[in-house]
Amino acid sequence: MSQANPIALISRKTGNWWADDRRHWCAYCGDKLEGKAGSTPKATRDHVLPRAHLGRHVTIPACRPCNQAKANTSLPDFLLTPYFASVRARERSTRWPLRDLWLVMALAAVEQARSLSDTWPDSSA
Ligand SMILES: [Zn+2]
């Protein structure tokens, strides 16, 4: 029986956002992250699992206000905040679909599990 590698499966769905155009917009609110100095928010790397929870691995592009609003909240909790509801009310096409945010949360959880395991299944098998 072949062992499915969950990281490979999720990565195939989400792609590499730090290598494509998604890195230029906030995943949460869709604001542009680069541009003329002072006119647009600066890009930050938001830790999907807060660093305070030992979440070191998976980051997504976020504007400073969203990153600061999320702070040490986990992604599922952040999705339920009034702040998130207010920025999502703006309907920007450059923000990530909720489906993709949940897939990235799953990816971060699996990466975290792998970092805590000495016996992770070998994906090349
Ligand atoms: Zn934002």
Structure confidence by residue, pLDDT tens digits, 79-111: 999 999 999 999 889 999 999 999 999 999 988
Q: Find out whether 39 and 31 touch, Cβ atoms under 8 Å.
A: no
Higher pLDDT residue, 44 or 39? Answer: 44
Q: Give distance in angstroms: CA of 88 to centre of ligand 1.
A: 9
pLDDT tens readout for residues 40-80? 566 788 999 887 777 678 999 999 999 999 998 989 999 99
| Cα–ligand 1 centroid distance for 69 (angstroms) | 9
- From the CA of 119, how far away is ligand 1's center (Å)? 37
Phi, psi of 56 (to 5 degrees): -100, -20
Q: If you measure from the C-alpha of residue 95 to the centroid of ligand 1, how many angstroms do you get, rounded to a whole number? A: 8
What band does 7 get if pLDDT is binned at 50, 70 and 90? confident
For ligand 1, the distance from its centroid to the CA atom of residue 97, given in whole angstroms, is 13
- Phi (first) and psi of residue 91, to 5 degrees: 60, 45
Helix-strand-coil percent breakdown of the chain, rounded to 5?
40, 10, 50
Does 35 have pLDDT greater than 60?
no
Domains by residue range for the chain, with CATH: 6-112 (1.10.30)
Spatial contact of 43 and 33, defined as CB atoms under 8 Å apart: yes
pLDDT, position 25: 93
